């Protein structure tokens, strides 16, 4: 079947720019993507603190990038203002982030091979032997502390270089609810724990969210929904192609909508 998603519509909750590839894949499979970002990436109000942190980049042994957003919102400024020390080693949470770094001329990037999160990165031998190493973590404002806390426990000196912030552009999700009622929405794609929190908060106690399949790309995203009786489907690997495959493979002969 050339168009396995024909007649099906899926809301994509990723930031608008990052939703484009999956949206195109869904279209090519005959489906209809609905762009409904629960997170948008914005610049900081000022970069004084960020510039102060990266001004000492020559003192660091490792630079870890949490996301492609971290690369896009830091590398141009870092290169322009201070350049890249030859001894600095680079690490990324996953292959997409690593590819972004390679676009800036970084040839070697330490990346987990099977699972793409802080836990997987911390399991690598290079992240075990970090005593007295100086590590700078590029990320958005806030976020998980596990990576930094664990590296500190292992003897590393860790600082954050926060280079963007995340906002929720939605006030409610009544649009999605109406489309579900009208049988024009058959699933929701959620690819971050933060977006899942926003979705749950916006839906409140409305029962419709329990009736619609929610597709995620990591088991951790599903954890917060386990007690809420939501229908969660987890992609086998990261990436838009894997997400497309789970959208297709989850279909029953009767379709997703009941």
* pLDDT at residue number 1: 52
Residues 100 and 63 in one domain: yes
Cβ contacts of 102 within 8 Å, gap of 6 or more: 109
* pLDDT at residue number 238: 77
Residues 70 and 111 in one domain: yes
Is 127 contained in some domain? Answer: yes
pLDDT-derived band at 236 (thresholds 50, 70, 90) equals confident
Q: Using DSSP, state whether 62 is helix, strand or coil.
A: strand
Q: Alpha-carbon distance 126 to 16, whole Å?
A: 35
- Domain assignment of residue 83, given as a range: 42-166
Query: What percent of the chain shows pLDDT beyond 90?
Result: 82
Cβ atoms 14, 189 nearer than 8 A: yes
CATH number of the domain at 82, please.
3.40.50.10090
Residue given tokens 């399949």 in the structure block: 213
State the chain's mean pLDDT as an integer: 92
- Answer whether residue 252 shows pLDDT above 50: no
- Answer whether residue 258 shows pLDDT above 70: no
pLDDT in tens, 35-60: 999 999 999 999 999 999 999 999 99
Structure tokens at 3: 């168009």
Q: What is the CA radius of gyration of the chain?
A: 20
Residues 182 and 132 in one domain: no
Is 152 contained in some domain? Answer: yes
Q: How many domains does the chain have?
A: 2
Residues 218 and 185 in one domain: yes
pTM for the model stands at 0.81
Is 207 contained in some domain? Answer: yes
pLDDT in tens, 136-158: 999 999 878 999 999 999 999 99
Is 202 contained in some domain? Answer: yes
Residues 124 and 78 in one domain: yes
Q: Using DSSP, state whether 162 is helix, strand or coil.
A: strand
Exposed e or buried b per residue across 164-201, where buried means at least 16 C-beta atoms within 10 angstroms of its C-beta: bebebebeebeebbebbeeeebbbbbbbbbbbbbbbbe
Residues 28 and 68 in one domain: no
pLDDT in tens, 18-31: 999 999 999 999 99
- Answer whether residue 254 shows pLDDT above 80: no
Is 258 contained in some domain? Answer: no
């Amino acid at each position: 079947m050339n168009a396995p998603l024909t007649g099906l519509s899926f809301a994509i909750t990723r930031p608008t720019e990052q939703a484009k590839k999956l949206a195109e894949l869904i279209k090519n499979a005959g489906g209809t993507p609905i762009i409904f970002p629960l997170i948008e990436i914005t610049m900081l109000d000022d970069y004084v603190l960020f510039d102060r942190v990266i001004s000492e980049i020559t003192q660091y042994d490792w630079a870890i990038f949490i996301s492609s957003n971290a690369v896009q919102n830091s590398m141009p400024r870092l290169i322009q203002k201070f350049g890249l020390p030859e001894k600095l080693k680079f690490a990324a949470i996953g292959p997409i982030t690593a590819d972004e770094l390679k676009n800036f001329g970084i040839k070697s990037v330490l990346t987990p091979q099977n699972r793409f999160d802080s836990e997987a990165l911390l399991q690598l031998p290079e992240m075990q032997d970090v005593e007295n190493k100086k590590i700078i973590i590029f990320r958005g404002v806030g976020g998980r502390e596990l990576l930094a806390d664990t590296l500190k426990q292992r003897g590393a000196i860790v600082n954050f270089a926060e280079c963007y912030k995340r906002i929720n552009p939605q006030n409610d999700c009544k649009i999605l609810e109406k489309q579900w009622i009208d049988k024009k929405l058959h699933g929701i794609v959620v690819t971050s724990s933060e977006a899942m929190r926003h979705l749950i908060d916006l839906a409140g106690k409305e029962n419709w969210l329990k009736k619609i399949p929610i597709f995620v790309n990591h088991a951790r995203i599903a954890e917060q929904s386990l007690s809420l009786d939501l229908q969660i489907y987890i992609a086998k690997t990261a990436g838009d192609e894997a997400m497309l495959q789970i959208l297709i493979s989850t279909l029953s002969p009767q379709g997703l909508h009941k």
